Amino acid sequence: MRADIVVSRSSVSSFKSVEISELSPAKVLAFADERIMRRVVRPGGPERPRDEGKRMASFGKVSGLLLCMISLYSPAPRAAEPVVALAPSGEQAARFPAPNRPVASIVSPLWSSEDSRRSAGETGQVFRLMSIRPGMRVADVGAGSGYYTMALARAVGPKGEVLAQDVVPEYLASLRKRVQKAGFANVRVGLGEMHDPRLPKESLDAAILVHMYHEIAQPYGLLYNLASAMRPGSRIGIVDLDRATENHGTPPEVLRCELAAVGYREISFHRLRGDVGYLAIFDPPVEPPLPSAIVPCRSMR
């Protein structure tokens, strides 16, 4: 590929058409330098006196050109690193039963507008009820565009950590940019699988699953594998709407049955103010049943 680089100034000769592949920034500098020198010692007559201002002006023009060229030929910034899982795989998907109810499809990385959720004080209500404090390590399972991740990063502070997890790599790549832009150093993003959040073993003080439970295609597998990431005394909080799973909610009785099937114990249940659904808080099992012993709940609604 060739580039035509033209400087149409009387004080500096025009550049020729050059082969891009032959140019490195160093060569570009040398080439331009040579052109300036040639102008100064041009054969065919003695160097005409030039006033210093003109000389500086031509140098400025060439420097500008050089900057353009250097940026043109500098190696392109490395493509963003892919988002990977934060831990090895747990139990395989095939070992778990499928749910006896519809699973909602993934349609968006955000449940509802952040403005409306802020007006409802959604994160404040959830964090208070879950006793989220500075220094905790909390997973945001199904983080999407990160409405909770950002609030959690502030709530747990620099001594705490947020593990923002999802199954859609593109959502996580955008979230990582959002986190970097906000300057949070206490957030890690991690890719999970439908049946396995791929979070480090016994690492979490709390996990939240917000407006996403109805989209989990393999709830028994996910709950089983999530349990191994929880520390003793930790809590998981599930926020959802009280409506059928195919309508992007989870009826509380369905939620209770599925969590109990994997050994989770309900601690409390709260209707949240501002039409943002309910929060159900569970104690994860220390030792969940073997995957083959998990009995799926009957279809309820």
Tell me which residue has its CB nearest to ligand SAM: 144
Judged by CB under 6 A, which of 215, 230, 258, 262 binds ligand SAM? Answer: 215
Residue 130-159 contact track with ligand SAM, rule CB under 6 A, x = bound: -----------xxxx--xx-----------
Binding residue count for ligand SAM, defined by CB under 6 A: 23
Q: List the interface residues with ligand SAM, window 72-101 (CB under 6 A).
A: none
241 contacts ligand SAM (rule: CB under 6 A): no
Q: Is 227 in the site for ligand SAM (CB under 6 A)?
A: no
Which residue among 14, 74, 108, 268 contacts ligand SAM (CB under 6 A)? 108
Q: In whole angstroms, how large is the CA radius of gyration of the chain?
A: 30
Q: Does 212 bind ligand SAM (CB under 6 A)?
A: yes
**Least distance to ligand SAM from the beta carbon of 101, Å?**
15
> Which C-beta is closer to ligand SAM: that of 147 or that of 184?
147
Distance CA 212, CA 170 (A): 17
**Cβ distance to ligand SAM smaller for residue 18 or 110:** 110
With CA atoms as reference, report the closest residue to 153 among 167, 142, 143, 138. 138
259: nearest Cα among 229, 292, 281, 231: 281
Q: For ligand SAM, which is the closer residue by CB, 15 or 147? A: 147
Shortest Å, Cβ 111 to ligand SAM: 4
Long-range contact pairs involving 56-62 (C-beta distance under 8 Å, separation at least 24): 57/11, 58/9, 58/11, 58/12, 61/7, 61/9, 61/12, 62/7, 62/12, 62/32, 62/35, 62/36
Which residues, numbered 170-209, are part of the site for ligand SAM (CB under 6 A)?
Answer: 171, 192, 194
Residues 6+ apart with CB under 8 A from 147: 110, 111, 114, 117, 123
**CB 263: neighbour CB atoms within 10 A?**
18
Q: What are phi and psi of 97, to 5 degrees?
A: -75, 155
List the end-to-end C-alpha distance of the chain, in Å, as a whole number.
Answer: 65
Q: Which of 194, 189, 192 is nearest to 213 (CA)?
A: 194
Q: How far apart are CB 109 and ligand SAM at their closest, in Å? A: 4
Whole-number Å distance between alpha carbons of 123 and 147: 9
Told to check if 277 binds ligand SAM by CB under 6 A, we report no
Minimum distance of ligand SAM from residue 77's CB (angstroms): 27
Residue ranges in contact with ligand SAM by CB under 6 A: 106, 108-111, 141-144, 147-148, 166-168, 171, 192, 194, 210-212, 215-216, 222
